[in-house]
Amino acid sequence: MEKLKQRWGLTSNFQVLLILIVFSVNGSFAAWIAKPLTESIGLDYETTNPWIFWPVRILLIFFIYQLTLPLVGFVFGQFKFFWNFFTKKMLMRMGFKKFFTKD
């Protein structure tokens, strides 16, 4: 726990616990949301080739996870942590650097 607290700049074990809960809840939430989205674009597990279905489903889960991580973090009172350490870095890597740097 101490290594995580030091690495992430946290102050309490409770905050570490909340962050780990957010990661797990958000993963399940992203997978749950991806199912109807996969079906809405016309891909069904029973009728679609697995070589098409699973890569599309995994990509959807990945993007949904990234988008909902700060929202789930907000629900658990950890928005600032997830915004600064994960979402902001991901958006900067995707080319949105100009929105986060001061000119």
Per-residue model confidence (pLDDT) at position 93: 74
Helix orientation angle between 13-40 and 50-75, rounded to the nearest 10 degrees: 140
> Can you count the helices (H) and strands (E) in the chain?
5, 0
The residue ranges of every structural domain in the chain are 2-99
70 neighbors 89 (Cβ within 8 angstroms) = no
Q: What is the pLDDT along the chain (103 residues), one digit of tens a residue?
A: 788 788 888 888 899 899 999 999 999 999 999 999 999 998 988 888 999 999 999 999 998 998 899 999 999 999 988 887 776 677 777 776 666 665 5
Q: Within 13 Å and on the Cβ side, how many CA atoms surround 98?
A: 1
DSSP class of residue 77 equals: T
**End-to-end alpha-carbon separation of the chain, Å?**
38
Residue 41 has phi, psi (to 5 degrees) of -90, 10
Q: How far is CA 97 from CA 49, 83, 100, 101, in A?
A: 38, 14, 6, 6
